[in-house]
């Protein structure tokens, strides 16, 4: 069980000497906005790498708060040896280090659930109703819905203009999910998304008038045009779809677009010069099983990644053989 009072006391005690270190994607930004709303302004820094290579400046810091970043044990021990207390809201691999000044709040450890993101974790622990829609944005963007459905039920009731229903298809067709995609446009400059969210806590519709929204619309038009004009770069299989987006802008988003367009149970895989993205919004296949073919993985069964030296066609053949063998075994 979580001692919520103890968590709150730690953050309140060191608030002026705290730092939040968050991933630069929708989940990291939304989780950090949630904490800033609950506890007041806390210095917040971002990393584009979910496994960060560096630790931000620790001058005068006494509390280090992690959101949606998978710090290594070495990095955590470094912080502890510096005399800092650490509260870890990450949802990737569990870093359960035994130390009086370390608190691991990974939802896999606390709730035994994997489809809870860092934003969803902030909701489950603190229940901040006023920023519930923001935490739903972070959760939906991370495809972490089913194990935190009460959050989406609350948002549906309070913000029906953002969410009409709580089925997966409704959530991934909603304004809530679109806001996650808009927020992702600030990945290279996460402070922009962070600031826009903080300014519009009471007016989420204003985000659809922001510069990020215009960037999002341009991105969607680019992706749509790709699928209209370059169908030869897409291979469809009964079990999966493989897309070659090598050397294209917005790599990693084409698989999302097509999966959401067809709304089927196939796995959608994107190949970008050896970088692989795996998505499965609606099916039962654990994409980590496919990602393992290339030494990759993911935080949960619906999204993951990997790197490979294989060509696009070699990747297709390997995945096709995997499903053929799997079908034979299942039969």
Topology, domain 4-211:
inorganic pyrophosphatase (n-terminal core) (3.90.1640)
Q: Which residue has the tokens 């009072």?
A: 5
Cβ within 8 Å of residue 224, ≥6 positions away? 257
- The answer on pLDDT for 298 being more than 60 is yes
Sorting pLDDT into bands at 50, 70 and 90, what band is 283? very high
CB 267 within 8 A of CB 278: yes
> What residue ranges do the domains of the chain occupy?
4-211, 230-330
Residue 262 is predicted with a pLDDT of: 96
- pLDDT averaged over every residue in the chain: 96
Q: Which of 11, 15, 34 is nearest to 122 (CA)?
A: 34
Topology, domain 230-330:
Diaminopimelate Epimerase; Chain A, domain 1 (3.10.310)
Q: How far apart are CA 149 and CA 113, in angstroms?
A: 12
DSSP H or E stretch at residue 88: strand 85-88
CB 287 within 8 A of CB 298: yes
Instruction: Show the DSSP H helices in 40-106 as ranges.
Output: 73-81
Sorting pLDDT into bands at 50, 70 and 90, what band is 204? very high
- The answer on pLDDT for 1 being more than 70 is no
Residue 330 is predicted with a pLDDT of: 55
pLDDT in tens, 88-122: 999 999 999 999 999 999 999 999 999 999 999 99
pLDDT in tens, 208-220: 999 999 999 999 9
How far is residue 184 from each of residues 25, 135, 181, 312, 315, measured CA to CA in Å? 6, 14, 5, 26, 27
Residue 4 is predicted with a pLDDT of: 85
Strand order through the sheet with 275-279: 234-236, 240-244, 267-272, 275-279, 303-307, 297-300
Here the tokens at position 57 are 């400046």
DSSP H or E stretch at residue 293: none
Q: At what angle do helices 132-141 and 149-158 cross, to 10 degrees?
A: 130
Q: Which residue has the tokens 């970008």?
A: 272
Q: Which of 2, 13, 243, 233 is nearest to 121 (CA)?
A: 2
Residue 144: phi and psi, rounded to 5, are: -110, 80
- The answer on pLDDT for 327 being more than 80 is no
Q: For 269-301, b where at least 16 C-beta lie within 10 A, e where not — what string? A: bbbbeebbbbbbbbbebbbbebbebbebbbbbb
Q: Which residue has the tokens 């931000």?
A: 56
């Amino acid at each position: 069980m979580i001692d919520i009072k103890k968590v709150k006391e730690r953050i309140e005690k060191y608030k002026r000497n705290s730092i939040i270190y968050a991933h630069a994607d929708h989940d990291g930004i939304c989780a950090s906005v949630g904490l800033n709303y609950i506890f007041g302004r806390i210095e917040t820094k971002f990393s584009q790498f979910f496994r960060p290579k560096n630790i931000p400046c620790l001058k005068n810091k006494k509390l280090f708060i992690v959101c949606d970043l998978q710090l290594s044990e070495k990095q955590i021990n470094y912080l502890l040896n510096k005399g800092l207390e650490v509260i870890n809201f990450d949802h990737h691999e569990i870093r359960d280090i035994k130390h009086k000044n370390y608190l691991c709040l990974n939802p896999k450890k606390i709730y035994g659930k994997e489809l809870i993101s860092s934003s969803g974790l902030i909701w489950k622990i603190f229940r901040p109703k006023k920023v519930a829609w923001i935490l739903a944005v972070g959760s939906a963007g991370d495809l972490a819905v089913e194990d935190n459905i009460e959050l989406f039920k609350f948002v549906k009731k309070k913000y029906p203009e953002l969410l009409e229903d709580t089925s997966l298809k409704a959530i991934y067709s909603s304004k809530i999910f679109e806001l996650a995609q808009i927020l992702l446009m600030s990945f290279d400059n996460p402070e922009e998304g962070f600031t826009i969210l903080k300014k519009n806590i009471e007016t989420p519709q204003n985000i659809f008038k922001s510069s990020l929204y215009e960037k999002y619309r341009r991105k969607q038009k680019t992706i749509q045009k790709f699928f209209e004009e370059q169908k030869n770069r897409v291979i469809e299989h009964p079990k999966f779809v493989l897309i070659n987006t090598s050397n294209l802008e917005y790599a990693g988003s084409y698989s999302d677009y097509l999966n959401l367009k067809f709304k089927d149970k196939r796995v959608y895989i994107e190949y970008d010069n050896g970088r692989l993205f795996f998505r499965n919004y609606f099916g039962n296949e654990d994409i980590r099983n496919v990602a393992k073919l290339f030494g990759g993985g993911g935080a949960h069964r619906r999204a993951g990644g990997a790197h490979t030296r294989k060509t696009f066609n070699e990747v297709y053949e390997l995945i096709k053989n995997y499903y053929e063998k799997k079908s034979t075994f299942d039969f």
